[in-house]
Amino acid sequence: MRHEAETEPRPGERPGAPPAPPGLTGIFLAFLKLGCTSFGGGTAGWLYRDIVLRRGWVDNRAFLSMLSVGQALPGANGIKATVQIGQHLRGAAGAAIALLGLLSGPFVIILAVGAVYRGLGTHPLVQAVLDGMAAAAIGLTFDTGLRSALHGARKPAAIAVTVATVLCVGVLRWPMFPVILGLAPLSIGAALVERRPQPDA
């Protein structure tokens, strides 16, 4: 029973052999759709839902690793994750195509919306639509963070680092960079200790 539970695929991971990497056209169209539909920010959440859960191009472990690396680098998390996913799928060409697809749609949309917003920006209906989009983006971001926490829920060190990060950044409002500098070495050291083979009892 225990062996079956351990081999059962996690959410976002498909059983059996991993699917073949998509072509450049498929990558472009997928990220074009994401760019046109991921309103209000929270791109990382949209990426997780489409690329990991729906398409199965990247598994949970790889996606969370990319997200973790991106958190330590400057820039928008969605953009960094897009580049890493594209590179993971098709190398440098995949990274460039994924980024182009993600940004092309929003570039055209924002020009059109900007023109409309100049005349209708103060209308209550427009404000309600924007509030709804923002709420959806917040929910997706929360979902991604919750799944990340559950992924390491069986590891006490991961839980401790998560709680410390939330406390320092979310509650105490400390700057992100010093928090990363302080917690990253502790997290890496704890992960290395947990990965060491345990001696037989």
Residues of the chain with pLDDT > 90: what percent? 21
Banded pLDDT at 102 (limits 50, 70, 90): very high
Q: How far is CA 113 from each of CA 46, 107, 117, 132, rounded to the nearest angstrom?
A: 21, 10, 6, 16
**Poorest-confidence range of 27-36, 70-79, 83-92?**
70-79
Res 121 pLDDT > 70: no
Predicted TM-score of the model (pTM): 0.56
Which of residues 68 and 31 earns the better pLDDT score?
A: 31
Res 196 pLDDT > 80: no
DSSP state of 8: S
Do 21 and 89 contact (CB within 8 A), yes or no? yes
- Tell me what the mean pLDDT of segment 102-126 comes to: 82
What does the chain come to in residues?
A: 201
- Tell me what the mean pLDDT of segment 142-149 comes to: 72
Banded pLDDT at 67 (limits 50, 70, 90): confident
The runs of H, that is alpha helices, within the chain are 2-7, 24-37, 43-47, 60-71, 77-120, 124-151, 156-165, 176-195
Res 4 pLDDT > 50: no
DSSP state of 10: P
- Tell me what the mean pLDDT of segment 73-99 comes to: 90
